Structure 1
């Protein structure tokens, strides 16, 4: 930082532009702006370094990906660094839609990382809400998918899901790979205790009868992935129109990792369906 300050003040004192190729990369694969954005320490140091680079003319590389495949904007989302992100959004030429090496925009990373406070800033700057990754998942699908990977606290999960739903993300748009909807992704979430994602999506209007490219409903996906809480919630949502016929447990398709739990999965499914049949009989 001190050396950057010296360069900046020398350029001001001599009243001349620096003849620098700002697109040039270090042996590690980073531009000068990438290095400034990756500076160790707190956000104030990163902002100071970036500001000096921009004042020296290095802002032309503001959207370049670093050696890890992230632009400065992507990196600040992943770091949950609101200070640096706001600084960057105020700079000329920043591209909100630039993608990581894996095809994710900054807004998509906000959904995956559950940083809705940063997503608000990006949406306020007109970031594209319906952005998708390379496999065709939208932001709501990406969030629902976290329940397969992480143990997300229930309250946080509900807040994040409602944020994207209220923002206008389509619950029924299929992904570009297997025509899964957001509810299909939620159905495979083994870490979603209480089926919070499933219940939130259903209350928001997700269709329990939607089928993917292989003809599977969300319930069939929940069975395949051994999501016991999800099975109970989806059987209740299907009510009198079950997508898995009664007494068809021998035909159930399970993923390889859940075949050992077949008896438990079948027991939960049969119990939930029996309860629904009793309920429907009482109503009739």
Structure 2
């Protein structure tokens, strides 16, 4: 837990109104699950992020970063130490054929800004329910496009609180991986190289992809998006469906009847329900098809409250 002395010291680094104690994290996740954060901080400037990181390292306090919570499960016991929210970093700037967006900006909204400026290259992101930071972290992609196709560089912060700029090559983007993960970095903003295009053509492509997403995905329920990585030579949803798991329920969560690659919160499900379901799906698919599914969703936090 964070004691009063630590809180008082934190308030000398950033305004007190940006700090919340014992904050429920279920308010910030797409699954609407998760316990409380000991200390939830919402910086408004990159320098504040850096200062908190340096402070936490000095005091040996664990730090967890949280974007818009679209591809994450926070366990019911919550998160110890400091949670830094990136949701205030939503600025989007357009300069010629480049777009720079803060890590907290929704990549869907950034794709729309690109369209409005007659820029093509981000259409694939028009249905990805994640933030820029999360999208770079996992090299998000959909419908044949991914972040590595158009990113130029990213501004990041490391565990020591140093703010760095990484080139596309230094980001080491691959299928749902990046150096952001392996080097324990956090994205503050990212810049994308796009091309001039016909807004009518761009809009038509976005309309098509949006319709395809609405037709196939269970958007009517809370979820964490696609739960599993695509296994080589297979599709996770198809394997789950063939294993007879579609509609299977544990507690308040269910393998979607609309798309088996999604686990939806249909009745006040908990993070524990999600973890148990993920484990059950992995075990069943392995037994049925001999394929070991790997989760794409991040699972963090404590299983039970202290």
User: Greater relative contact order: 1 or 2 (C-alpha under 8 angstroms, separation 6 or more)?
Assistant: 2
Q: TM-score, normalised by structure 1?
A: 0.26
* TM-score, length-scaled by structure 2: 0.24
- Select the structure that is richer in strand: 2
